[in-house]
Amino acid sequence: MRRLKFFLPYCIITLGSAFPFGYHSGVINAPADLIKSFINTTLVARSVRCDGRCVDLIWSLCVTSFLLGGFFGGLIGGVLANKLGRKKSLFLLSIPTVIGSLLMMFSKMAQSFEMIIFGRFTIGIACGAHTVVGPMFLSEIAPVNFRGAAGTFNQFVLVFAILLSQVLGLPEVMGTTELWPYLLALCTVSSVIHILLLSICPESPTYLYIIKGDRRRSENALVYLRGQDCDVHAELELLKMETQQSSTHKSNFCDLLRIPYLRWGLIVALVLHIGQQFSGINGVSNFEFQVSLFLTTLIFPELFDVMSTSFITRN
């Protein structure tokens, strides 16, 4: 029971942050042909003449609207986390995730591919902010010796969600003409569960102590996370020292460029992230079924199984 209480906050946080991000990153690939057929049928019903390239363009908008939303979401994640707190931010961000999923689910009924584009854009904003708030929340509630494992667990849930979306998108499961709208919206279930369970998850002790200045609530959160028999005063002293340092020295963006050890840390992080983007993995992950079809028919069929892409995405 004690172990369950220890791991439950990590499961709740990743269920509402890493899981939707991974699921919606991969779910659009498998039903690509079905969605293209829906787009073409919708355009014909509207008496709009559109060739295959036009359909491909609209489908590409359905895919990339998620990434565009993620760009804007990433910009507001830190602001939300500091203004509202980590817990309230996750709760708030689950709402557009549910709304966007429902828009996609009813898109076929409404004969509107625009609902898919707008729905994925809305979810993208939430998931972009989740990439900031979720890992931040995990690192702040985890003990020092468990922070690396907490970050690894976040990544594991993300990649598992990508894999799950690929499996569910197979024609033998939910990748059918009747079920693909429900496939796109299935992550609503995890978001609703996350909203319901988030109430039992404590707020970040770091946020409560450093930003809100509430030592008592921070101590109560630490006691809940570590257990009644654990001495949390050492962690409180560390938070106190961090608060004093932040009050005596106000850091700004220029410090990242001016202070040598911060500058090198920034360079390392930028090289890793920029290198990942230019590796082309985002294009492969978002259009992997098309890439896989090209590779399996023209190059080495035995080397390119579409499901294997899920294991290298985001790693």
Sign of CA dihedral 44, 46, 51, 57: negative
Contact indicator for 288, 136 with CB cutoff of 8 Å: no
The residue ranges of the chain whose pLDDT is under 70 are: 1-2, 245-253, 280-315
Residue 157 corresponds to which amino acid?
V
Query: Residue 226: what pLDDT?
Result: 84
Residue 217 burial (CB < 10 Å; 0-12/13-18/19+)?
middle
Place of tokens 């625009």: 114
Residue 102 burial (CB < 10 Å; 0-12/13-18/19+)?
middle
Query: Residue 52: what pLDDT?
Result: 84
Query: Residue 299: what pLDDT?
Result: 47
CA distance 175 to 184: 10
Residue 21 burial (CB < 10 Å; 0-12/13-18/19+)?
buried
Query: Residue 250: what pLDDT?
Result: 63
Helices then strands, each counted (H, E), the chain: 18, 0
Query: Residue 302: what pLDDT?
Result: 43
Q: Please, what are the domains in the chain?
A: 1-201 (1.20.1250.20)
Query: Residue 51: what pLDDT?
Result: 85
Contact indicator for 141, 88 with CB cutoff of 8 Å: no
What contacts 19, CB < 8 A, 6 or more positions away?
Answer: 157, 158, 160, 161, 187, 190
Query: Residue 283: what pLDDT?
Result: 63
pLDDT in tens, 22-41: 999 989 988 999 999 999 99
Residue 284 burial (CB < 10 Å; 0-12/13-18/19+)?
middle
Q: How far is CA 306 from the centre of its chain?
A: 21
CA distance 104 to 289: 20
What contacts 66, CB < 8 A, 6 or more positions away?
Answer: 24, 25, 28, 120, 121, 123, 124, 127
Residue 198 corresponds to which amino acid?
L
Q: Quick check: helix, strand or coil at residue 171?
A: coil
Give the CB-side neighbour count of residue 75, counting CA atoms within 13 A: 5
pLDDT in tens, 39-75: 999 999 998 888 888 999 999 999 999 999 999 999 9
pLDDT in tens, 222-233: 988 888 777 788
Contact indicator for 16, 94 with CB cutoff of 8 Å: yes
Q: How far is CA 279 from the centre of its chain?
A: 20
Query: Which letter, b or e, does each residue of 26-53 get, where b requires 16 or more Cβ atoms within 10 Å of its Cβ?
Result: bbbbbbbebbbebbbebbeeeeeeeeee
Secondary element (H or E) of residue 179: none
CA distance 216 to 203: 12
